[in-house]
C-alpha cells in the first residue's frame, strides 16, 4: 500500500515538473525561423543524432527482447489446461481436458500443482473482464483479458504452493469488486 502511495506521489511530482518545464519552454520560444535561416550545422548535428539514436534503439531492442516474459512462458509446453470464463460477476474455472484429473479443495477451489506449466484458456461470457492472478503477497503473477467471443491463452507455471487469488482487472459493472475466485497450488 505504501509503495502504491509513493508511486502516486512520484507520478504527481513528475507531472507537475513536466507542466512547469513546458510552461518555461513555451515562454522561451521565439517566432519560427525560415528554413533558409536555420544553420546547416543544426541539420548536420540532427541527422547524426538520428543515426546514433537509431543504432542505440536497435541495439537495446536486440539485447532486451529475448528477456520479455512472453517468450519464456510460451516455450514451456503446457501440461495442464484450464478453461476460464469471466461473467458478471464471477469466475468459472474447470479442467479443459477431463484426463488432467484436476482436484477441488474442500472450499471448492481448483487445485493445481506447482512447477508444472499450465495454460489458461480465458474468455468472457458477457462483457470484457480482466483475468488477474495474484500470489499470496498480493502481487500479480499473470494476467490477460477475458473477452466475449475470443479465447486468450495465458501460459503460467506456479513456482510456489499457496492460495492464488483471481480478481477482475477491468471494471465491468456494479459487482466488479466482488468478482473473485481462488486457485490452490500444492
Ligand atoms: Cu470486472
> For residue 179, how far is its CA from the centre of ligand 1 (angstroms)?
6
> Three cell numbers at 86?
469471466
Alpha-carbon gap, residue 8 to 11, rounded angstroms: 5
Alpha-carbon gap, residue 18 to 34, rounded angstroms: 28
> For residue 183, how far is its CA from the centre of ligand 1 (angstroms)?
18
> Three cell numbers at 166?
483471481
Residues of the chain with pLDDT under 50: 1
Please report, in angstroms and rounded to a whole number, the separation of the first and last CA atoms in the chain. 28
> For residue 91, how far is its CA from the centre of ligand 1 (angstroms)?
10
Ligand 1 is an ion; its neighbours by CB within 5 Å are 129, 168, 172, 176, 179
Alpha-carbon gap, residue 145 to 151, rounded angstroms: 9
* Closest to 84 in 3D by CA, of 96, 93, 95: 93
Structure confidence at residue 75 (pLDDT): 64
> For residue 58, how far is its CA from the centre of ligand 1 (angstroms)?
38
Alpha-carbon gap, residue 79 to 77, rounded angstroms: 6
> For residue 53, how far is its CA from the centre of ligand 1 (angstroms)?
41
> For residue 89, how far is its CA from the centre of ligand 1 (angstroms)?
7
> For residue 97, how far is its CA from the centre of ligand 1 (angstroms)?
27
> For residue 117, how far is its CA from the centre of ligand 1 (angstroms)?
26
Structure confidence at residue 130 (pLDDT): 96
Structure confidence at residue 70 (pLDDT): 64
| pLDDT per position as a tens digit, 6-56 | 888 999 999 999 999 999 998 888 777 666 677 778 888 888 999 999 999
Structure confidence at residue 1 (pLDDT): 47
Alpha-carbon gap, residue 37 to 133, rounded angstroms: 59
Structure confidence at residue 107 (pLDDT): 87
Identify the three-state secondary structure at position 67: helix
> Three cell numbers at 67?
528477456
Alpha-carbon gap, residue 57 to 43, rounded angstroms: 21
Amino acid at each position: 500500500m505504501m509503495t502504491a502511495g509513493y508511486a502516486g506521489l512520484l507520478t504527481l511530482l513528475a507531472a507537475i515538473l513536466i507542466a512547469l518545464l513546458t510552461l518555461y519552454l513555451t515562454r522561451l520560444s521565439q517566432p519560427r525561423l525560415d528554413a533558409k535561416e536555420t544553420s546547416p550545422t543544426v541539420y548536420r548535428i540532427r541527422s547524426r543524432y538520428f543515426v546514433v539514436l537509431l543504432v542505440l534503439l536497435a541495439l537495446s531492442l536486440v539485447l532486451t527482447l529475448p528477456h520479455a516474459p512472453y517468450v519464456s512462458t510460451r516455450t514451456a509446453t503446457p501440461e495442464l489446461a484450464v478453461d476460464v470464463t469471466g461473467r458478471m460477476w464471477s469466475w468459472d474455472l474447470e479442467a479443459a481436458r477431463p484426463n488432467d484429473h484436476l482436484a477441488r479443495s474442500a472450499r471448492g477451489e481448483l487445485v493445481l500443482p506447482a512447477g508444472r506449466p499450465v495454460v489458461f484458456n480465458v474468455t468472457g461470457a458477457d462483457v470484457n473482464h480482466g483475468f488477474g492472478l495474484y500470489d499470496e503477497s498480493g502481487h500479480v503473477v499473470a494476467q490477460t483479458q477475458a473477452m466475449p467471443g475470443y479465447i486468450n491463452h495465458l501460459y503460467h507455471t506456479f513456482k510456489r504452493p499457496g492460495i492464488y487469488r483471481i480478481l477482475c482487472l477491468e471494471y465491468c459493472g456494479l459487482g466488479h469488486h466482488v468478482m473473485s475466485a481462488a486457485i490452490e497450488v500444492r
